[in-house]
C-alpha cells in the first residue's frame, strides 16, 4: 500500500478525502486558467 500510493502516506486517513478534493480543485483551477489564457490570446475576449 505504501509503495503503490506514496502520496496518501503524508495524510492521515481522515484528511485523505480532503486532500484529494484539494488536489482536484487546484487542477480544475489550472485548467480553467489555461483555457481562459488560450481564449484571450485567440482574441475572443476584448
Residues 35 and 41 sit within 8 Å (Cβ to Cβ): no
Q: Among 22, 32, 13, which residue's Cα sits nearest to residue 40?
A: 32
| Exposed e or buried b per residue across 31-45, where buried means at least 16 C-beta atoms within 10 angstroms of its C-beta | eeeeeeeeeeeeeee
Mean per-residue pLDDT, 25-44: 91
Spell out the domain ranges in the chain. Answer: 8-41
**What average pLDDT does the chain have?**
78
pTM for this model (two decimals): 0.53
State residue 5's pLDDT score.
57
Which pLDDT belongs to residue 4?
54
pLDDT tens digit string along 17-29? 888 888 999 999 9
Question: Looking at per-residue confidence, does 32 or 43 come out higher?
Answer: 32
- Above 70 in pLDDT, residue 14? no
Amino acid at each position: 500500500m505504501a509503495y503503490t500510493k506514496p502520496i496518501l502516506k503524508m495524510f492521515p486517513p481522515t484528511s485523505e478525502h480532503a486532500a484529494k478534493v484539494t488536489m482536484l480543485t487546484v487542477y480544475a483551477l489550472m485548467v480553467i486558467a489555461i483555457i481562459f489564457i488560450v481564449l484571450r490570446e485567440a482574441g475572443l475576449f476584448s
